[in-house]
Amino acid sequence: MRSPELDDLRRYAIARSLFKPTSLPQAIERLGFVQADPIRAPARAQDLTLRLRVKNYLAGDLERRYARLDIEEDCLVNYGFLPRQHLRLMHPREAKRRWSSETAQHAATVQALLEKIGPSHPREIQAQLNLGSTRNAWGGSSNATTHLLDGMHYRGLLRVHKRESGIRIYSLAQHPADERSAHEKASALVQLILAKYAPLPSRSLGQLCSLLGYGAPHLGKEIKQILAHARKSWPSVEIEGQRWYWPEGENPAAKRWQLDDELRLLAPFDPVVWDRLRFERFWGWAYRFEAYTPAPKRKLGYYALPMLWRGQMPGWANVSVQAGQMQAQAGFVSGKAPRDKAFDQAWQAELERMRAFLALPSEAGSASDSAPNSASN
């Protein structure tokens, strides 16, 4: 097998993640985990990720179909959606912070209530158990009942049954026993994140293993052991002083990893762009998520979507919906769009796909669909 080069790794990273669109359950199964984010610009991150991998996907389909799918909202390296089978690797989850006896009693009260009335909106629980307010992680004040429900969900006592207008409807959770050892569970979790984000630079692999402390804080020791062994045994290559890893049985240099001519606007948390270190190694510029950056300091925009075309990232776009019309502004690393008719056609095709995804009327051929040269920053 020819030793992979950086171009091989870049092509492999794109092609293995942006697989041929399939059904929603199959896409989530293949991804292993879909990171969630509440910001809509122009849609939530989970929807923007899935639209590129699910046939005829519309914004909000995940939320609408969630209760009928074998998936769960839960934690892995961050918060998102994952196949239900993976929860066995993390539950019963042992939170780092122990509850007081008073909080444990409140949780027992909520469990008894849900056992009686079934899946419930937080306000229904609040009406029965008004705990006032509490200080949140940002130093502000938040509803104490909501805080308790979050904690119960994290500890595996509750699950998200569905959502109504974005609000979690909770029900009691049951986690089947898993006979695998702690070491086996840790190994499966590390393999899961490698399969999702490969190929990974060594530093990024270490970062992701550290972030697994969110989903499986009680497996920290075993995860460190798995990581140490993986760095010695997994398939890898060193390029320009950086060692890269990928799953056993895959060949990043194989011809099967082919790119197409589609232009794609990627979510900030899409697997292709999630690892900012890898992004800079592959494309030579720093992509930053600036939604929480003060407006005067933003360089790319509030919710810039990296622009992937023919294996390159020539720029980004900010997309919004105003008065029922989609607005797209593109920016380019070089300061201007590629002077290529094929690029202009690919840009227009992606805008049409985005409109269809947002259930907006087509504007093909209208003045607002001018070439991105006129919209570049």
Q: What is the pLDDT of residues 364-377, one digit of tens each?
A: 544 344 456 544 33
Last residue of a domain, one of 172, 205, 234: 172
* Residue 141 banded pLDDT, cuts 50, 70, 90: very low
Domain contains 88: no
3-state helix, strand, coil in the chain (%, to 5): 40, 20, 40
Domain contains 87: no
Last residue of a domain, one of 145, 172, 199: 172
Domain assignment of residue 141, given as a range: 101-172
- pLDDT digit string, tens, across residues 12-27: 999 999 999 999 999 9
* Residue/partner pairs of 339-344 with CB below 8 Å, 24 or more apart: 342/261, 343/263, 343/309, 343/314, 343/372, 344/371, 344/372
- pLDDT digit string, tens, across residues 261-309: 999 999 999 999 999 999 999 999 999 999 999 999 999 999 999 999 9
Domain contains 325: yes
Domain contains 132: yes
* Residue 130 banded pLDDT, cuts 50, 70, 90: confident
25, with CB counted inside 10 A (0-12, 13-18, 19+), is: middle
* Averaged pLDDT, 146-154: 95
- The average confidence (pLDDT) of the chain is 93
* Averaged pLDDT, 347-371: 79
Last residue of a domain, one of 172, 198, 228: 172
The pLDDT value recorded for residue 284 is: 97
